Amino acid sequence: MPRGVIGNTADSGSVVSGSSPDGATKFKYMKIEYFNPITISTPRERIYSRLGFAKGITKLSEKQKDEVESYIERALEIIELKGAGVILPIKEIETHEVILSEDISFKSEDLTIFLADSQEVLLIAATSGAEIVKAVSEDSAGKNITAAVVFDAVASEMTDSALGWIINYFNRQLSRENKQLTSRRFSAGYGDFSLENQKIIYDFLKLEQLGISLSENYMLIPEKSVTAISGIEFKRENKE
């Protein structure tokens, strides 16, 4: 079992379709994989770039660099990377709608174009946890703006890297079938793929198991949490 994977905690078998008392959509679950914790290298160059420090252009004094590094290390101690992913077959792609197995439907012309060459999709999610968001808020309120900005940058880049780690994990599995994930990923709120679709992904992946909740406006809580869709295609030399 690869490092960072604690095994499959997904339910399996038939579930009556419809909604539960709390409004969550119910599904017949495929094999969902949960990753807790996710252990990755720190993307320092991207963190510094997000902070506005261009490599080879922006000069930092030793004192400034030591301060930033201390906040990066502190952020890494607080962040708790976790994630989930599942592969689902595409049943049909219409002009404005993608229909997956498990009675999942996404209405989005942009998504249909994105998945035009795909036979399956990967639904994924990752989070940095609640403590880092709390630390950003506390440092902002306490006027330690530098710490808050660094914490925010670290959490953003670590969450994105965790999503990349999950994608690489599934890509390794798919490679055995001469398949691969699309080089880009698609998230709710992009183009005409409305934010309401995030609830479908949230419910199917059962993201409450990762300590994630969903606001009335379909925003993920804690803030440094993301969901995305990637297409699965046959490798180029096998498409024919």
Position 9 scores a pLDDT of 35
Q: Just give the CATH number of 5-238.
A: 3.40.109.40
pLDDT at 34 over 50: yes
Choose between 103 and 28: higher pLDDT.
103
| Alpha-carbon distances, residue 223 vs 35, 130, 137, 199 (angstroms) | 19, 8, 11, 15
Pairing label, strands 225-234, 179-181: antiparallel
| Alpha-carbon distances, residue 144 vs 28, 54, 134, 138, 227 (angstroms) | 47, 23, 14, 9, 30
Position 171 scores a pLDDT of 97
Position 47 scores a pLDDT of 97
Mean pLDDT of 64-73: 96
C-beta separation of 60 from 69 below 8 A = no
d(CA 131, CA 29): 30
Task: Give residue-wise pLDDT tens across range 74-119.
Answer: 999 999 999 999 999 999 999 999 999 988 999 999 999 999 999 9
Average pLDDT, the chain: 87
pLDDT over 70, % of the chain? 85
The pLDDT confidence band at residue 141, using thresholds 50, 70 and 90, is confident
Residue 201's H or E segment, with its range, is helix 197-205
The pLDDT confidence band at residue 196, using thresholds 50, 70 and 90, is very high
Mean pLDDT of 155-170: 98
Task: Give residue-wise pLDDT tens across range 48-66.
Answer: 999 998 776 778 899 999 9
All residues at 6 or more sequence positions from 228 whose CB lies less than 8 Å from its CB, including other chains:
123, 124, 125, 163, 185, 186, 187
Position 57 scores a pLDDT of 77
User: DSSP letters of 107-174?
Assistant: E-HHHHHHTTT-SEEEEEEEE--HHHHHHHHHHHHTT-HHHHHHHHHHHHHHHHHHHHHHHHHHHHHH
Pairing label, strands 5-7, 33-35: antiparallel
pLDDT at 167 over 90: yes
The pLDDT confidence band at residue 237, using thresholds 50, 70 and 90, is low
The pLDDT confidence band at residue 142, using thresholds 50, 70 and 90, is confident
User: DSSP letters of 48-76?
Assistant: HHHTT--TTTS---HHHHHHHHHHHHHHH
**138, two tokens:** 């506390």
Q: Domain spans of the chain?
A: 5-238
Please, what's the largest Cα pairwise distance for the chain?
A: 61
**87 bridge partner residues:** 122
The amino acid sitting at 48 is Y
Among 53-57, 60-64, 126-130, 131-135, which stretch is predicted with the lowest mean pLDDT? 53-57
Mean pLDDT of 25-45: 83
| Alpha-carbon distances, residue 212 vs 25, 38, 120, 202 (angstroms) | 16, 16, 25, 9
Position 102 scores a pLDDT of 86
The pLDDT confidence band at residue 16, using thresholds 50, 70 and 90, is very low
Q: Residue-wise over 1-19: b if at least 16 C-beta within 10 A, else e?
A: eeebbeeeebeeeeeeeee
